[in-house]
Each structure stands twice: as structure tokens, then as C-alpha cells.
A = this chain, B = another copy of it.
Amino acid sequence: MSPAELDDLRGRTRAFIREVVLPAEPGPGAPLDDTTRDALRAKARDAGVFAPHAPVEYGGLGIPIDAWSPVFQEAGYSPIGPAVLNIMAPDEGNMHLLYVAGTPAQHERYLAPLVRGDVRSSFAMTEPHPGAGSDPRALSTAAERVDGGWRLTGQKRFISGANGAAFAIVMARTPGVEGWDEGATMFLLPLDAPGVTVGPDIHTIEGAIAGGHPYVGFDGCLVPDEDVLGEPGQGFRYAQVRLGPARLTHCMRWLGLARRAHDTALDRADARELFGSRLRDLGVAQALLADSVIDLETSDAIIDKTARMLRADPRAGEALSSVAKVHCSEAVFRVIDRAVQLCGGDGVTDALPLIQYLNEVRPFRIYDGSSETHRWAIARRAASARSREVEAGAARLDEVTP
């Protein structure tokens, strides 16, 4: 698409979300039922705003990753917008990974129905402690080589969307056989396959993701070779390929929700009088509003920078996505928190959705790598990069003589 076409898509998405989706939102905290969702999706298809990120050949609009942010932000302005446009996690990230790593047959069987919105999917990586969590290398679910395929055994946890999902992409440890690296491999597995258990559920504070966050168990599930996703032994690499963009699309969607909260606060600041002034004219309120604008604009800017880098240099983009994720996850929480504050008592009731939004975004500082884990990774990368500069001849700057 040309810049003008992208801008038009953004405008149409904005109009669709505000005019069609907002009036159809369920009450704060209530789930979106499938009937409403499907009706809204039909309208989204008619409006030409459905699945903007997905490949054209499977029914999407095919826009490149560095053009996603404006559109995803518009979608995120409604908590149900991403589900309506079929750009919600974990499906959106799974579509991306399936597209870049999958075979034509896998595209047909798994990707196409996902893009159409006929099914939901799941990404099964996290495990109960001490398995894969903050440290993905602690992966304990294992796939054993059997004739014509693999046999999966292990326990997963916090598997977003698994209830009702048609299939999962499962990450499992694989032995170094047949010339492949020892490491992890990704498998495609229908969740009605023999040996799969979904549940018990885990009750989290947020509710935006259909299908919850249950445990999922694999008890010797058989996966034929044609359902291996990508090259065996490359699972950790694929996880990065998926996680860099997936982290960033979370930022985009939540930034849209933060804009919604900020607009709510602006409306309240406009309407409410206090001590004889409008709230919007009181400096203490202005300070909060300005800080939120700064959070929104810097988040938008770092998302944009990261998206362009993910396109130009995926590995550098994945590294930068840590920075974007920490900044945006903390910034959107602050923006919504300030909106709660500006709406006073109403802000903590269900008369406004703000406190629900706050609970929706709170886990984002933990999911997909906690702020602390990312900060650790960011610092290590910075230290290594500088060491390489010094080794390449840059002058040491910290030296002191008595």
C-alpha cells in the first residue's frame, strides 16, 4: 500500500472502531460473546479493515509490520477492537510465525482458517516452575523422535487462549538427531489430539484474551513430521522471531487503550468544575495530562522505531523490542493510572471502564518477559556492545589517574 492508502486504512479503522465497535462493547470486565464478535467481524470485512496484518493470499490486507502501529492503535482504542479485527494475541503472533516458518500445506491447514477468523489458536511455551518461564532455556517439555514424527510429553502453563482453540504451536526440547542441532523445536498440534489436556484454568485479573490462560498437558501426543513448524532444533530462534513482533503488537494495542483512557480523562477535565475552574485549567491536572501525552508520544515513537528496525534488521529489532516493551508497558499503565486519578471516585467504580483497563494492562509488565527480565537483557546487551567497541579500538572513557 502507498502512504496515502495506509493513511486511508487508518482513517477507516478509526471510524469503524469508534462508530461500530464502541457502541457494541460489553460492560467493564464482561467477555465478548462469540455471536457479537462474529457479527462485528462481518462488518469489519465489509468495511475493508479486517486482518490488516495478514498475508493477502490468505485473506488479509498484507500491510508490512512498520505500517501496523497506527492501525493496531486504532483497534486497541476498544478493548474488543483487536479481537474484532482478528489482530489479537496470541493469534496475531501465531499467524506471523506460521507465515514465515510454515510450509504451504501448513499455511493451508492452520494459517488460512486463522486469518479468516474461523478458529483460534494458542502458543504453548511457558511451563510450571522450574520449567520455561523468565528463563526459556529451562524448557522441560520434550519431544522424542519416533517413526514418522515425534511424541510430545510435558506440562505447560499460562497458555493464553487455549480453551476453545483449534490448535497450539508447542515448543519442546528435542534431541540432536539427524544432523539437526540439539535444542528446541516447534510443533503444530490440534488441541483435540489424543493425549492433550486443557485445564485447569488460571484466573488472572485481565480478561481481554478469549480462551483464558489454562494449564495444557501433553501425555505422549503424536505429531507427524509434516506438523513440525520450521526446521527442527531451531525452536529458540523461532521463538525470538515470534516474540519480537508479538511484544511490539501488544505495545501497539495497549497504547490504543491508553489513548482511550487519556481521552476519557480529557473529557472529564473538560466537564468537571472544581474550586471555580474547569479541571482542565488547573495546573495539577495539567501536569498529569502533560505527563500522559509525553508517555503516549514517546511510546508511539519507540514503537515506530522498533517496527522499522524489525523490518530492516530483524535481530536488531528484536533487541530493541525489549526497550519498547519495558517503556510502553510501564507508560500505558501510568497513563491509565493518571486517568483513574483524574476521574476521582468514578475512576475506581464500574461506572467508567478505567479501573478495568488498569487491570487489563497490569499483567503486561509481567507477560512476555517481565520489566526486570528485559532490563537485565538490555543491560547485558549494552555492556557487550560497548565492550566490542572498546575491543575494536574505542578509547576507554573511565580511566582516572591520581
| Contacts from A to B (Cβ < 8 Å) | 18, 22, 126, 128-130, 133-135, 157-158, 200, 202-206, 215, 260, 262-275, 280, 282-291, 293-294, 297-298, 300-302, 304-305, 320, 323, 326-327, 340-341, 343-352, 355, 358-359, 362-363, 365-367, 370-372, 374-376, 378-380, 382-383, 386-387, 389-390, 394-402
Contacts and interface: CB of A to CB of B under 8 A. Distances in A.
Contacts of A267: 386, 390, 396-399
Contact of A394 (B18, B135, B206, B287): B18
18 contacts: A129-B272, A133-B345, A203-B351, A204-B349, A205-B359, A206-B348, A262-B382, A264-B398, A265-B398, A266-B383, A270-B390, A283-B286, A290-B375, A290-B382, A293-B382, A297-B305, A297-B327, A301-B304
A142 to B, nearest CB: 20
A379 B289 contact: yes
B370 A400 contact: no
Contact of A345 (B158, B200, B271, B344): B158
Contacts of A269: 383
B365 A341 contact: yes
Contact of A134 (B344, B351, B395): B344
A340 B362 contact: yes
A395 B22 contact: yes
Contact of A301 (B302, B345, B375): B302
A291 B134 CA distance: 19
Given A348-B205, A395-B22, A294 B323 contact: yes
Contacts of A378: 289-290, 293-294
A204 to B, nearest CB: 5
A206 B359 CA distance: 13
Task: Please report whether the interface of chain A is mostly helix, strand, loop or mixed according to DSSP.
Answer: helix
* Identical chains bound together, number: 4
B402 A274 contact: no
A183 to B, nearest CB: 18
A366 B347 contact: yes
Given A129-B272, A267-B398, A348-B205, A380 B286 contact: yes
Question: Taking each of A129, A351, A372, A380, which has the highest tally of chain B beta carbons within 10 Å of its own beta carbon?
Answer: A372
Given A294-B326, A398-B267, A341 B370 contact: yes
Contacts of A288: 372
A351 B202 CA distance: 8
A346 B205 CA distance: 11
Contacts of A301: 298, 301-302, 304-305
Of A158, A285, A366, A398, most B-chain CB atoms within 10 Å: A398
A348 B327 contact: no
A158 B346 CA distance: 10
Given A344-B370, A402-B128, A293 B379 contact: yes
A134 B351 CA distance: 19
A89 to B, nearest CB: 15
A287 B183 CA distance: 30
A293 B321 CA distance: 12
Which of A282, A291, A350 is packed against the most chain B CB atoms within 10 Å?
A282
Nearest to A289: B379
A6 to B, nearest CB: 14
B284 A283 contact: yes
A386 B292 CA distance: 14
A284 to B, nearest CB: 4
A350 B302 contact: no
B289 A287 contact: no
Given A274-B135, A346-B400, A283 B280 contact: no
A267 B396 CA distance: 6
Given A267-B386, A293-B379, A350-B203, A344 B133 contact: yes
